Structure 1
């Protein structure tokens, strides 16, 4: 060494200071999003899947759910993430197929997702086993498979279709002397009939006329005629739970219904919803005046306003997202619950194991009043053999009035007793 000092580069002092400061921030914050707590906040990866490109006469497509998940990702990261964690949302086309569901689950495992959130699949046995092996929780599915209410990896936000049928029994018991039920000629349809029968029996009403029907039929004239004869011309009700074929049934029913007949019709969300009512004529649709049992408040309720604002500002006109669609609503609620859980954990690194532990230890998930507060401890579950993972047995009563779903009764209605009784006696 010569002892001579090297000349400093000719650079403005302020620029040098800014660079040093920025480097120090990066080193100390490890890239934490604005709004974080100052310590290292690792990115959180989750997955949402739903069929979006399925084809075939009985295929289901729910592309709005994955689109809603991506809009949520953009919105929450613009706000600084979840408790300072950047949210990375992976989506997967489940293709309404066994192989597609399994592929999506394996992708979630490969990408080290900490949860699968707000998703739809009818193929629970294909996707749940990989999640169970990897310890990845399945939070807030649509309720399209039994595994969502049985697997120890499942954390449902609703009571599924079983809760809706139990609620339908209570809703119809007040106004209907005789009830006809048109339902799928399947094991699932058998369960529907049993739940409705159990609920009506508890209310002191006679058993419904049970009418099994083919799921893929293009006309239900015979079933509609049978349902009309069972309900009678006045004081009777006809309810149908046929999924996307419910519209077909009620089209047949309204064509055969005698002029002046006073027969009330009813169904559940998932079979009837605001998009279907809009598509079939609004206030002139065959569902005008129908009772509908749902999991959530009706679409016009102010509690949906935060979701609608996110869609307006972060979906960029994506027409796959309909805020009145039950699938879109379920995805929003599931992500709202996830946010509530992660914020309560106060962890710098969120893993599937930590998230599962927090859920099992009773961390409370707030959904902004769209469901009751949710907890998944053992003591929060209804303890039913048929629905061991259900923690939310509350439903809403709605009615179609002037072409819009509105509340028929304020607040939530608890159907725990009917679900438990149906499970115990079946």
Structure 2
């Protein structure tokens, strides 16, 4: 693990929640987004200019977390913009690379981006930031809108995250659980990345005056999590008298188990379901990326172990109308590619990251710059003359020094918003309107908790 990084000052203050965009406002935002980046129908940009080459990488076919939808979404996005004449006349060339959840391969993907003239790496996933950031930094290639799976994405001055990464999800999940739980167990990977999770979750729990969670380590690529389930249930007590009903007839705060194990979260909840059948009721929770609609469907929907679960995400729920432009691109240009799930946060992050790239190229075009280089993109990102509108899927984004949150260990975070979701009748639905701002929770986090 790296040493402590400095926290950057941030003259920023906002309310803890942002109201959901109304239907009319959402429509206006979407119209603005599409008119700004080329509508899904209408005339193409006239005149072909030099191609813009970028790369998107992600692990596929591994025994740990896989994100095949991210490069697939990038390719569909390129087909869409190129059918429109490119971005302001620049054809978009997307290179993809299977990172294999391997540090050496991650470095090779980054070096290939350098060797093949990529001006940016966009919307990618890798846990091995130490391996992939160095080759990019040497050549000044910006890393735009990564998934947030590595520390370096929130440290490197060449990284421009569109979400708050694991940090915001876990802090948000802790705040969400503080409302419903008196005791919490966290099941997380026995890895360097997993070692950071307890303090992040606990920052949210402590903001709700709850005790720190019981920390349960588990193998990231396990197939049977019975031992972790038993330790988690022992850790929260699972006392039926605790998880009772309140005087008002609702659930009183009780015992809760939250798990964040990436692709293997489903194996954990399968073990949990089998061992929970004869035990007192324990509320479960997770974060999007570990849990999604496809997992809910596989585990029995409304009859599965995740019914009523508290889930924290970065973005609006998948059926929100703000995702309609992305869905149309998938329908029209993905050609039934079953790797792309529009409800997957990796796919959603890739869409947002390419929205940012498109806005940057449009800003350069407006300034009369036709040579799209890594340096030109970096300068535009750092200067931040215009905040980038993602159609309400995130707050407007920019990465000036004044926009960086003062979060210890994560100085590149600019978006501290999360969404609270809950499983109802086997479907992920919004638990409350709008975004929840966890910036202050993160800034006040104790790393020794």
TM-score (structure 1 length as normaliser): 0.86
Higher RCO (CA-CA < 8 Å; seq separation 6+): 2
Aligned to 1:188: 193
C-alpha displacement at 1:191, in angstroms?
A: 1.9
Quick one: structure 1 residues 338 and 394, their matched pair in 2 at CA, closer, same or farther if it must change by over 3 Å?
A: same
C-alpha displacement at 1:175, in angstroms?
A: 1.5
Aligned to 2:216: 211
1:416 matched to 2:443? The reply is no
For 2:370, which of 339, 344, 348 is the aligned residue?
A: 348
C-alpha displacement at 1:189, in angstroms?
A: 2.8
For 1:246, which of 261, 265, 275 is the aligned residue?
A: 265
Residues of 2 paired with 1:191 and 1:75: CA distance?
Answer: 39
Aligned to 1:4: none
For 1:106, which of 90, 111, 133 is the aligned residue?
A: 111
1:388 matched to 2:407? The reply is no
Q: Secondary structure at the match of 2:282?
A: strand
Residues of 1 paired with 2:292 and 2:103: CA distance?
Answer: 26
For 1:69, which of 67, 71, 74 is the aligned residue?
A: 74
Quick one: structure 1 residues 96 and 189, their matched pair in 2 at CA, closer, same or farther if it must change by over 3 Å?
A: closer
1:377 matched to 2:384? The reply is no
Residues of 1 paired with 2:70 and 2:228: CA distance?
Answer: 33
1:115 matched to 2:138? The reply is no
1:358 matched to 2:380? The reply is yes
Aligned to 1:272: 291
Residues of 2 paired with 1:387 and 1:297: CA distance?
Answer: 23
1:131 matched to 2:153? The reply is no
Aligned partners of 2:169 and 2:418 also within 8 Å:
yes
Residues of 1 paired with 2:267 and 2:116: CA distance?
Answer: 42
Structure 1: give runs of 5+ residues left out of the alignment. Answer: 1-33
Quick one: structure 1 residues 214 and 61, their matched pair in 2 at CA, closer, same or farther if it must change by over 3 Å?
A: closer
Q: Size of the alignment, in residue pairs? A: 389
Aligned to 1:159: 164
Structure 2: give runs of 5+ residues left out of the alignment. Answer: 1-42, 244-253
Q: Secondary structure at the match of 2:211?
A: coil
Q: Secondary structure at the match of 2:232?
A: helix
Q: Secondary structure at the match of 1:400?
A: strand
Give per-residue Cα distances to partners, 1:358-384, cap 9 Å, x unaligned: 000014222111111111111111132
Q: Secondary structure at the match of 1:376?
A: coil
Give per-residue Cα distances to partners, 1:325-355, cap 9 Å, x unaligned: 2211111111011112221222222111011
The CA RMSD over aligned residues, in Å, is 2.0
Aligned to 1:85: 90
Aligned to 2:52: 44
Highest CA radius of gyration, 1 or 2? 1
Aligned partners of 1:94 and 1:101 also within 8 Å:
yes
Residues of 2 paired with 1:89 and 1:99: CA distance?
Answer: 22
C-alpha displacement at 1:425, in angstroms?
A: 6.0
Give per-residue Cα distances to partners, 1:156-200, cap 9 Å, x unaligned: 111111111100111111111222222223343332111222222
1:288 matched to 2:307? The reply is yes
C-alpha displacement at 1:220, in angstroms?
A: 2.5
TM-score (structure 2 length as normaliser): 0.82
Task: Map residues 17-28 of structure 1 onto 2, 5 A cutoff.
Answer: none
Aligned to 2:28: none
For 2:346, which of 316, 327, 331 is the aligned residue?
A: 327
Aligned partners of 2:162 and 2:415 also within 8 Å:
yes
Aligned partners of 1:195 and 1:418 also within 8 Å:
no
